[in-house]
Amino acid sequence: MKNILIRYGELTLKGNNRNAFISKLIQNIKYKLKQYKDIIVYKKDHNSLVLEIKDSDKLEEICHILQNIFGIYSLSIVEIVEKDVDLILKRCLEVASKHIGSFKVEVERKDKGFQVSSQDLKTKIAVSILKNNQNITVDVHNPQLKITVIIKHNGAFIFTSRIKASKGLPVGVSGKGLSLLSGGIDSPVASYLTLKRGMQVDFLHFMTPPHTSKEALDKVFQLTSKIEKYNQSNFSLYICDFSIILKELMHIKEESYRITIMRRIFIRIANKLCELIKANAIITGESLGQVASQTIESINVINEVSKLPILRPVLTCDKEEIIEISKKIDTYNISILPFDDVCSMYVPKNPVTKPKSFIAQKQEENLLLDELIDYTITNLIKTYIWKDGELCEKENK
Ligand code: ATP
Ligand code: MG
């Protein structure tokens, strides 16, 4: 029988919230490993979690899923034996028996009642390995094989590697946010970074059919599906048909303000939706100075219409840094597909870079906004919920 030792991430630092954090993490792990529930036994101890895996063939798949769960610092595949010196020696010898090259032994004695000190045990193990394997030498700085033994209250844990995981905080401990997801590179990365800090993310996408294509919408489905492995497994994607409002926005006289006002309406709709779905923040992929509509003046004029905080996790990132993350999370190749999410007819030639709030307000006064926003929210948002590996449309909101 194999075991996976899961080390908790940053949550070990969180004082009184610790138990809540651990419970959330375990809940998230159980959810993501639902399909393996019959072959896993969960064993929780003070600083770590052990999954006993009854079918070793599934070990690799399970580790792969665990690596993407926020709140996990690292994993090790461990063997757990009784706290008996001879037994520990025997297992360590077996582990080192076929190895050729350098090695190192590390012993940590968490159970101070164990009769042998960590130093003595380490020496015993190293000496017996050297005696039994002629092809092996000690290298304490850069060993090719590192055998670690941890003496815990519930057994001696033996392992040879630490697999890095995603760190961060368990999704859900920081509440829920609504991510404005375009088909571009930045907003999926912003969603991922928000998830990393423990905030569950639902998505809102604006489309303007027939000007925007089915392929553009399909990108959004693909992007949310890619991010699912980091998200809560029952997230929602809201698709808002923005065409009626877009038509109204064509009446804006000050053409350079069209994008600013469109963004303000995105945010107004997002605020109302957040209220309905009990989300406490809005997330966008805006990056300071990246394009004309992402200046600090523009951000201020957009923030003005929001009751909720707008989180912009990639605000200070260069495009190159954002692309690097999007490649890591495998959204890049979807994002660069050439289908526009915003009606290109609508985009002004010279969008204002330093919009003024009073001008935006003045332009909006001439439009029938409140009614159209309410109508759109009630009638033109479709909800999709992630269920059993795919997004399913929800009948009634
Ligand atoms: P992205 O790469 O995320 O598309 P971008 O650099 O292209 O960002 P903009 O098109 O100016 O920037 O959009 C800024 C942000 O506004 C996006 O990151 C996203 O959060 C939001 N946004 C833009 N278009 C849409 C849309 N059609 N639906 C939902 N949100 C959108
Ligand atoms: Mg975009």
Pair 212, 178: CB distance under 8 Å:
no
Token pair of 309 as six digits: 């905080």
Q: Which residues contact 336 (CB under 8 A, 6 or more apart)?
A: 185
pLDDT at 350: 85
CA–CA gap between residue 261 and residue 269 (Å, rounded): 12
The verdict on whether residue 263 carries a ligand-binding annotation is yes
CA–CA gap between residue 195 and residue 233 (Å, rounded): 12
> Please, which residues bridge with residue 76 across strands?
5
The ligand 1 atom nearest the CA atom of 185: 2
CA of residue 14 to ligand 2 center, whole Å = 37
The verdict on whether residue 311 carries a ligand-binding annotation is no
Question: Exposed e or buried b for every residue in 305-318, given b needs 16+ CB within 10 A?
Answer: bbebebbbbbbebe
pTM value? 0.93
pLDDT at 12: 58
The residues spanned by each domain of the chain are 2-164, 176-393
Dmax (CA) of the chain: 88
pLDDT at 374: 95
**CA nearest ligand 1 atom 11, residue:** 293
> Please, which residues bridge with residue 169 across strands?
197
- Residue whose C-alpha is closest to residue 204's, from 381, 369, 389, 390: 381
H or E, element range at 371: helix 369-379
| Mutational pocket test of ligand 1: of 179, 180, 298, the residue with most ligand atoms within 8 Å of the beta carbon | 180
Ligand 1 and 305: CB distance under 6 A:
no
Ligand 1 and 67: CB distance under 6 A:
no
The ligand 1 atom nearest the CA atom of 180: 30
**CA nearest ligand 1 atom 4, residue:** 184
| Rg value, the chain, Cα | 27
Phi and psi for 329 in degrees, rounded to 5? -95, 5
Q: In what order do the strands lie in the sheet with 310-311?
A: 310-311, 281-283, 176-180, 200-207, 236-241, 381-387, 390-393
**Is it true that domain 2-164 has CATH number 3.20.20.70?**
no
CA of residue 297 to ligand 1 center, whole Å = 17
**C-alpha dihedral (139, 145, 151, 152), degrees to nearest 10:** 140
CA–CA gap between residue 36 and residue 97 (Å, rounded): 32
Domain 176-393, second-level architecture = 3-Layer(aba) Sandwich (3.40)
Tens of pLDDT along the chain (397 residues) come to 789 999 988 765 566 678 888 899 999 999 999 999 999 999 987 778 999 999 999 999 999 999 999 999 999 999 999 999 999 999 999 999 988 999 999 999 999 999 999 999 999 999 999 999 889 999 999 999 999 999 999 899 999 999 999 999 999 999 999 999 999 999 999 999 999 999 999 999 999 988 888 889 999 999 999 999 999 888 999 999 999 999 999 889 889 999 999 999 999 999 999 999 999 999 999 999 877 778 999 999 999 999 999 999 999 999 999 999 999 999 999 999 987 777 566 777 788 999 999 999 999 998 989 999 999 999 989 999 999 889 999 986 5
**C-alpha dihedral (266, 268, 274, 279), degrees to nearest 10:** 80
pLDDT at 347: 75
Q: How far is CA 221 from the centre of its chain?
A: 17
- Residue whose C-alpha is closest to residue 274's, from 243, 321, 304, 310: 310
The verdict on whether residue 206 carries a ligand-binding annotation is yes
pLDDT at 388: 84
